[in-house]
Structure 1
Amino acid sequence: MANHKSALKRVRQTKVRTERNRQRKTTIKTLRKETLGAAAAGDAKAASESLSKFSSAVDKAAKKGLIHKSKAANLKSKAAKAIANVG
């Protein structure tokens, strides 16, 4: 366990950041499932709206360094391709 004052602060900061990152990743996973689910159901309007939210969340995560920018591009590309096959 940390003994120095600064090390204790780092432990607190890590705990907060870990929880924040976990929440953001969960949101991305949920939005991805919604988007792909709407595409699989054939609901183009709901899928496109969901894709917009999903893309925004992925871009923000990549900007913050939560996920790599290439992974963000791959996720968005696969979702867009799934929606393109609907219509």
Structure 2
Amino acid sequence: MAHHKSAIKRWHQSLRERGATAHAAPLLAVPSAESAKAVAAGDETATREALSAAYSALDRAAKMGAIHTGKADRTKARLAAFISKGAA
């Protein structure tokens, strides 16, 4: 653990920077998976690839601690329900 005030500040800044990219990835991946183009067109491969990318981004963010694991699981469940409802 850092002992100097400037070292502690730098440590906090590094955590913020590392978490920012992990937190932003799911925010970009989930809406692209929910896009109506792939679901409405019935393109199963594009939908599956977008869903896989969103799952991966959510799992990565949860593993790094950028988001809570429960939030990642809940978002994945809601996304899967949205996709299956759109496919039906």
Same fold (TM over 0.5): yes
Q: Which runs of 5+ in 2 are unaligned?
A: none
How many positions carry a matched residue from both structures? 84
Deviating beyond 4 angstroms after TM superposition, the runs of 4 or more aligned structure 1 residues are none
Measured at CA, do residues 9 and 50 of structure 1 come closer, stay the same or move farther in structure 2, by a change above 3 Å? same
> Residues of 1 paired with 2:18 and 2:80: CA distance?
27
Q: Report which stretch shifted further, 75-84 or 13-22.
A: 13-22
Residue in structure 2 matched with residue 75 of structure 1 by the alignment: 75
- Residue 18 of structure 1: SS of its match in structure 2? helix
Question: Residues 44 and 86 of structure 1 are in contact (CA less than 8 Å); yes or no, is this contact kept in structure 2?
Answer: no
Q: What residue ranges of structure 1 are gaps of 5+ in the alignment?
A: none
How large is the RMSD of aligned CA atoms in angstroms?
A: 2.1
Q: Give the secondary structure class of the aligned counterpart of 1:85.
A: helix
* Equivalent in the alignment of 1:24: 22
Q: Aligned residue for 2:56?
A: 56
Question: What TM-score results when the alignment is normalised by the length of structure 1?
Answer: 0.79
Report the AA paired with residue 85 of structure 2: N
User: Percent same amino acid at aligned positions?
Assistant: 31
